[in-house]
Amino acid sequence: MVQPLKLETSDKLYNEALELIPGAILGIRRPYNFVVGEYPIFFDNAKGGKVYDVDGNEYLDYLCAYGPIIIGHREESIDNAVIEQIQDKGFCFSLTQPIQNQLAKKLKSIIPSCEKCVFVKTGSDATTTAVRIARGYTNRTKILRCGYHGWHDWCVEVKGGIPTKLYEDVFEFEYNNLADLEALMVVHGNEVAGIIITPLGHPLAHEVQMPKPGYLKAVKDLAHKYGAVLIFDEIRTGFRVTLGGAQQEFGVSPDLSVFGKAIANGYPVSAVVGKKEIMDVLEHDVFLSSTFFSNSLAQVAAMATIEMMEREDVLGVIRKKGNEFGKAVEDLIVDTGVPCTFSGGPWVPFITFNHDPEKKYKTLRNTFYTSLIRQKVFLQPYHHGYIAYRHTEEDLTYTLDVIRKSFLEIKQL
């Protein structure tokens, strides 16, 4: 096996952070979400498709900040547009700057479900706003959900600190299982304000699922049968599957959609878009406000990102690379006989190890991802990855060779 990485500075910073911040790092960036002792804990800088940790190790970055980096780190045309805004105009005002309208017009022109939109900051902001809109529009309370949807009270998976009454009207259903949703609607349908679902199924640590033929259309029909609002959570799929999102790819337009992550190549902005008559509840009946929602820097970055995507066919290039990469990984799995599965291609590639009664898959998973990181390929054992526009053919070829070597290594276990 390749020798472990030198991570002394990262470990030192982690121990320091333990005295400063609960858990040292927030959420899914904590060491136990990777392979403890093998992965860096602090990055220092990045450029293009590569990141560098505080110990000077270089990695091919296929986690892409959990999705926002669609083009590449420190993309000059995007960053320069933001710098120009800072230097020439400023970005934090008591009133809104014109970039709001420019970006809204752009979204309206490319997203099928967008007749009107509002801008917020995070994916959790957007999903929670969409749920509030659905409840305000229907005057109903219950929400049916399938997907992650964020850290807010109504949907967070870890319930510590949250009273039951804040999520007792929210019910989960299984992706691609129409009967599961139908059963919930039979019981709750006339009280359901909205159904929120990710167009792709991407449960943590499990294979990514594409929608079965007709599934998304059937979900839409079921929502409308009971007078509920259909919401697509496109935080991950938006501006990655196509410019118009997975709804454009699969030909099903929801009532509301939420977009984030890749929309601005790392700058913090998200959007709730939808039908005019539903969105208009925000005018008087539903309140939405934040000091920082109107800040223009991320909106400027979003415009520059989308314009580059259009100009250089960024998503077409990523799709081609992703398809070729996925086919090559699938061939390696067949050739080596490793008990694992590739899913999510071409947009959210993921290698998961097949569960077995003895739970040997856990050892295989840790050994495999340890081998990857030691050879400077940064992926996450429990979360799908991403391919960025700035990942080169050489990067992908090298990564496939590392995957092949890592498969052969775990075959010896």
Domains of the chain, first to last: 8-73+314-411 (3.90.1150.10), 76-311 (3.40.640.10)
| Global confidence as pTM | 0.97
* Residue the block writes with tokens 């919401």: 231
> What confidence tens digit (pLDDT) does each residue in 264-309 have?
999 999 999 999 999 999 999 999 999 999 999 999 999 999 999 9
Instruction: Give the integer Cα–Cα distance in Å for 273 and 282.
Output: 12
> Tell me, what DSSP letter sits at residue 73?
B
Q: What is residue 73's predicted lDDT score, i.e. its pLDDT?
A: 98
Q: Are 386 and 348 in contact (CB under 8 A)?
A: yes
pLDDT of 352 strictly over 80: yes
**Cα dist. 278→231, 275, 287 in Å?**
11, 5, 14
Tell me what pLDDT residue 135 has: 98
Q: Whole-angstrom Cα distance, residue 273 to residue 125?
A: 13
* Mean of all residue pLDDT scores within the chain: 97
Residue 100 Ramachandran class (φ > 0 left, ψ -120 to 50 alpha, else beta): alpha
Mean pLDDT value across residues 137-153: 98
Does the CA dihedral 346-265-317-325 come out positive or negative?
A: negative
Cα dist from 78 to 274, 309, 313, whole Å: 27, 11, 16
